[in-house]
Chain A
């Protein structure tokens, strides 16, 4: 911290005591709680189980984090409404599943049909989120950008968008949870009807004796595929190059013939698509959606983006996975009621020890 301050040695000591002491004390307190509860599992297989859980939630955080980090990269905007984009993906996916699942007598559904339903749900969820993100940019953010208003005005607008979207879904769906059909095999289905076990909670394969069930496998596989595609997109295509250029320096990029407006729209679109896919996966996994479902994953995804280095796309992926792991190990050792706290402690820790994130705060890297 090379700030040019006039501080006496005493103040220096006090400041560094505060700076390092507070997080260390927090860590010590957490460890004490963990040790006194003595719930840290000793078996390796339990750790492995939590690792799989961690990768699963981490994959979802990573996909949401990409939207945050890309928008932050090009606009330096903390897009508060991104969690609502995620929420819309969940709703769109579950509505799609609900409507498609009514088609035809269930008894004749084969595994292929379920795969198609899932694929269509993911597609629709991604499209709904992507389109919402683009409309949001067009209606709410672009007018502000054209006038070059303050960043705080941006942020407040983002909060307004977030409120509007979540309350829109509160109206559409009420305060009840949108559940997916009881017959949906993920929840087991009513007795007596045999469903093709495409995404039942049955193990696909097991790692060292720990089973990986179908939804988990689905989440991780789809997420890895999406992350790979996105990485190629950003690094290997002209548009991706444009995104990196705008993130680096919008003015120079526009002088070089990059259409900045178009790139920004594409950034929102891509971020929205990823959040939509994540939303559908989240919805399929938990089997429900609610108007405020996006808040907690959204905040954690932002933490993941910062952990990896904001603006850094690979950093967001790494940060998401790491955050999922840390969180689940924390749950394993200390207790599930503190689950939401770990992410923030990690965030504070990262910001203190490595403010630019693990992979560094660059853009398009």
Chain B
């Protein structure tokens, strides 16, 4: 193996010795250390390869880096065609999964701002997704149509919403509403320490779902809203109907992901990104150094909410049907906890990590669909095992690894926010 891997192995065993003074070791630690060593041996080529390709990429001149990135995006964009060619009859099925991965990746990247960058534990992220989706459904008039049909209002059929070009503006409306809801939730709660924030956001997620269930006159309650129009593009002589295919939504999501990563890279390496890093590492110190902590946390919250609302709008316009049960905490696809698991599995604070995590977490239950109901059992076990073997996530962010002080901390705690609070 490479020189670095050996070094890492060495430091690993050294640390293992340090952790067990006098050679006495708890039984709970021994099998686990052995499993980790074994895991490191098995995966060292992969990890070395990953690190080398990263270093190689970093050393490239900027134009080459841009070209490579563009090639990567192009490769992602042609996935629908490749799937169509390669899979034939099962292509639509896999395409729907790939689209789901896109939504999940967008959400994971959004939550990553909150959890990975600012170090705030948000367990109610799906609420913003729901607010986005519902705002869109209400603005397009689908909600009104559904309620009229349900109440058998005469002429209800005429209310059936059709897509118009101005409806693209509803994307922005949904973003604005959701960001506002993020600020409203965040303003009172972001002063709290991490664990409380977690439970308050969890509560917020539930409140949004229950409210959507109970406010029958606005959201049509548990019946949900259907006939949400699919987007069209009508510019001059150019017409494109998004319809029921998955591919256009996939491209839309891909576009949003690319825009988001581009924006976020800039924000992250700006003053704001440094403020987030400071808050994440030590909030009291950051506040003492003049970082406006509450404002910065609110900003992270609102940005995360904005991304979630985009995901929600695309989801609503693609599926054409939403109901409160689409937004449960543990719901199989986009529940808050599931999205958080994506971010953590993939690795917080980076860009590749959440995407990989989202893809895996959508893919694994699908792959194990043959296992029927037990696939979530497998999923839970996988989470535990990954946390034991590689708690920093599959692709941890380089910046965070560096911030925490060199190679040694590659495995060290990356979430020490507010440890001092006690």
Contact = CB atoms under 8 A, between A and B. Distances in A.
Contact of B199 (A3, A7, A295, A302): A302
A155 B348 CA distance: 14
A343 B199 CA distance: 11
Given A5-B287, A168-B377, A306 B188 contact: no
B162 interface: no
A361 B11 CA distance: 40
Interface residues of A, number: 65
B206 interface: yes
A258 interface: no
Nearest to B376: A167
A151 B382 CA distance: 19
Nearest to A151: B415
Interface stretch (A213-221, A272-280, A320-328, A334-342): A334-342
B165 interface: no
Contacts of B191: 1, 3, 19
B50 interface: no
A155 B121 contact: yes
Most chain B CB within 10 A, of A159, A162, A165, is at A159
Interface residues of B, number: 67
A146 B24 CA distance: 13
Contacts of A108: none
Contacts of B183: 18
A153 B376 contact: no
Interface string A133-167: 00000111011101111111101110111111101
A152 B206 contact: no
A161 B189 contact: no
B248 interface: no
B384 interface: yes
Interface in A154-205: 155-157, 159-165, 167-168, 170-171, 174-175
Give the one of B32, B196, B345, B380 with max A CB within 10 A: B380
A143 B32 CA distance: 6
Contacts of A175: 373
Interface string A47-73: 000000000000000000000000010
A152 B381 contact: no
Contact of A146 (B29, B202, B330, B341): B29
A351 interface: yes
A155 to B, nearest CB: 7
A250 to B, nearest CB: 11
Contact of B187 (A15, A147, A295, A343): A15
Given A153-B344, A153-B391, A155-B198, A19 B414 contact: no
B279 to A, nearest CB: 11
A27 B141 CA distance: 30
Nearest to B387: A157
B290 to A, nearest CB: 6
Interface of B, secondary structure class, is helix
Contact of B391 (A149, A164, A310, A338): A149
A163 B382 CA distance: 10
A185 B392 CA distance: 53
Interface string B185-209: 0011101101110111011101100
Contacts of B189: 348, 351
Nearest to A363: B422
Contact of A347 (B26, B203, B294): B203
B213 interface: yes
B391 A144 contact: yes
Interface in A311-365: 337-338, 340-341, 343-345, 347-348, 351-352, 355
A200 B9 CA distance: 65
Given A142-B28, A146-B26, 14 more contacts: A4-B288, A5-B294, A22-B184, A144-B387, A144-B388, A147-B19, A152-B115, A152-B344, A152-B414, A161-B380, A163-B379, A299-B199, A302-B199, A306-B196
26 contacts: A5-B295, A6-B292, A7-B292, A15-B187, A18-B184, A18-B187, A23-B188, A138-B28, A140-B388, A147-B391, A150-B413, A151-B417, A152-B121, A153-B391, A157-B383, A163-B376, A167-B373, A167-B374, A167-B377, A167-B380, A261-B26, A303-B199, A344-B204, A347-B203, A348-B188, A355-B196
Interface of A: 1, 3-7, 11, 15, 18-20, 22-23, 72, 76, 78, 138-140, 142-144, 146-153, 155-157, 159-165, 167-168, 170-171, 174-175, 261, 295, 299, 302-303, 306, 310, 337-338, 340-341, 343-345, 347-348, 351-352, 355
> Which 7 A-B pairs have CB atoms at the shortest separation, nearest pair first?
A344-B203, A160-B383, A163-B380, A164-B380, A150-B415, A18-B187, A143-B32
